[in-house]
A and B are shown apart, each in its own frame.
Chain A
Amino acid sequence: MNKQDKNPGNNRENLIKLENAGLTAEEQQLFCDAVPVPYEPYSLEFVERFHNWIRANSLWVLAFGTGCGAIELNPLMTSRFDANRFGVMMRPTPRQASVLIVAGYSSVKTLKRIIRSYEQMQGPKFVIGLGICTINGGMYYDSYNTINCLDRYIPVDLYITGCMPRPEALLAGFMELKRKIKAGECDGANRYVKDFDWYKANQKKVIKKWDMPDYNW
Chain B
Amino acid sequence: MFDLKRYSEAELESGKFTKLWHGPQHPGITGNMSLELTLSGDDVVECKTHVGYLHRGFEKLMERRTYIQNFPVVCRIAVPEPTFNEYMYAAAVEELAGIEVPERAEWLRCLNLEMMRLASFLMWLGGACGSFGMSTVYQWTVTHRDYMLDLFEEMTGARIYHMYISPGGVRAPLPDGFSERALSVMNGIEKLLYEIERVALNNHIFKMRSQDLGIIDPEMVDPYGIVGPNARACGFKRDVRKDAPYLVYDQLDFEVITADKSDAYTRTLVRYQEMHQCISLIRQMLEQMPTKGSFHADLPNVLHWKIPAGQTYVKSECTRGEYGYFLVSDGSEYLRRVTIRGPSYTHAIAVMEKLVVGVNIADVAGLMVSLHTYPPEIER
Contact = CB atoms under 8 A, between A and B. Distances in A.
Contacts of B139: 78-79
Contacts of A46: none
B60 A143 contact: yes
Interface stretch (B72-80, B99-107, B331-339): B72-80
Q: Which 4 A-B pairs have the closest CB atoms?
A: A68-B79, A63-B27, A92-B27, A78-B142
Interface string A57-94: 00000111111101110110011100000000010101
Chain B binding surface, main DSSP class: loop
Interface string B66-85: 00000011001001100000
Contacts of A64: 24-26
A144 B57 contact: yes
B146 A80 contact: yes
Given A66-B32, A79-B139, A113 B53 contact: yes
A66 to B, nearest CB: 6
Contacts, number: 89
A139 B80 contact: no
A117 interface: yes
A79 B143 contact: yes
Between B54, B138, B146, the greatest number of chain A beta carbons within 10 A of the residue's beta carbon is seen for: B54
B56 interface: yes
Interface of A: 62-68, 70-72, 74-75, 78-80, 90, 92, 94, 105, 107, 109-110, 113, 117, 139-140, 142-146, 163-164, 166
Nearest to B61: A143
B188 interface: no
Contacts of A140: 56, 61
B218 interface: no
Nearest to B160: A164
Interface string B11-42: 00000000000001111010110000000000
Contact of A75 (B24, B26, B146): B146
Contacts of B53: 66, 107, 109-110, 113
A117 B146 CA distance: 30
17 contacts: A62-B25, A67-B54, A68-B54, A68-B76, A75-B145, A78-B142, A80-B146, A107-B56, A117-B25, A140-B61, A142-B64, A143-B56, A143-B61, A144-B60, A145-B55, A146-B56, A166-B159
Contact of A145 (B25, B57, B80): B57
Contacts of A139: 72-73, 76
